[in-house]
Amino acid sequence: MNLPAANEPPDPATGPGSAGAGRRRSLPWAAALVLALLAAWLTQRLLTEQSRARLLADQLALAEVALRSSQQQLEAERILAYRHAENLREQSTGAAPGAGLQLGVLTSALEAAPLAQAVAVWDPGRQEGLFRSEHLPPPGPGRDYQLWLSDPQYPDPVDAGVLAIGQTAAGGQLRFTARRPVLAVHGFAVTREPKGGAAKPGGPLVLSGK
């Protein structure tokens, strides 16, 4: 049997320090792997955030288009309302449009029906008028829409009658009269009142205008 000499140095490949040296050599590779994984995760996160930002930008652009469309539709409805008013003027008198007549354009006070609107023409000489509504929702069971005229000579609005709009009708046209003599109309309003109308406006405001 051959025994190593007492003063022979240990083999570095098999000595006690070889395991520690191996671990030290593997540390840079482990750190590089961690950094690579971290870089990949950050890259993926950046791509995800960029995709989300593009999606939000697209949604914002669509919302702006929808808003412009709504504004254009409202403007078109206003133009139509004025055209209806001209037709009502001609129906209410054989004279030229605007000869002593008072025109009111009523807009919606309902959040659920922003496109609801109406036009009213009042003839103070004949003490009668014409009213036309568009996109007005049904008043509901046991309710009626009631028209009111504002005249400075009276402390309360003047009753101009219940609007004959059915529970399924979106609008209509009717001729109306006031319950008192009206010299000058400073405003028109429509409220929702109990069936048959009320002596004074007490229900929620539906339409208003001058």
Assigned domain for 67 exists? yes
**Greater pLDDT, 199 or 78:** 199
pLDDT averaged over the chain? 75
The neighbouring-strand residues paired with 148 are 159, 189
Instruction: Report pLDDT for 4.
Output: 47
pLDDT tens column, 185-206: 999 999 999 999 999 999 999 9
Domain count, the chain: 1
Tokens of 130: 């014409």
pLDDT tens column, 144-168: 999 999 999 999 999 999 987 654 4
DSSP line for 42-92: HHHHHHHHHHHHHHHHHHHHHHHHHHHHHHHHHHHHHHHHHHHHHHHHHHH
Instruction: Report pLDDT for 187.
Output: 93
Assigned domain for 5 exists? no
Assigned domain for 101 exists? yes
pLDDT tens column, 84-119: 666 665 665 554 444 578 888 898 998 888 888 888
Which of 11-25, 38-52, 127-141, 194-208 ranks highest by mean pLDDT?
194-208
Assigned domain for 143 exists? yes
Assigned domain for 119 exists? yes
pLDDT tens column, 7-22: 555 554 455 555 555 5
Strands 205-209 and 117-123: unpaired
Please calculate the CA angle 38-28-33 and round it to the nearest 5 degrees.
Answer: 25
Assigned domain for 7 exists? no
Domain carrying residue 65: 17-210
Assigned domain for 11 exists? no
Assigned domain for 103 exists? yes
What percentage of the chain reaches a pLDDT higher than 90? 26
DSSP state of 208: E
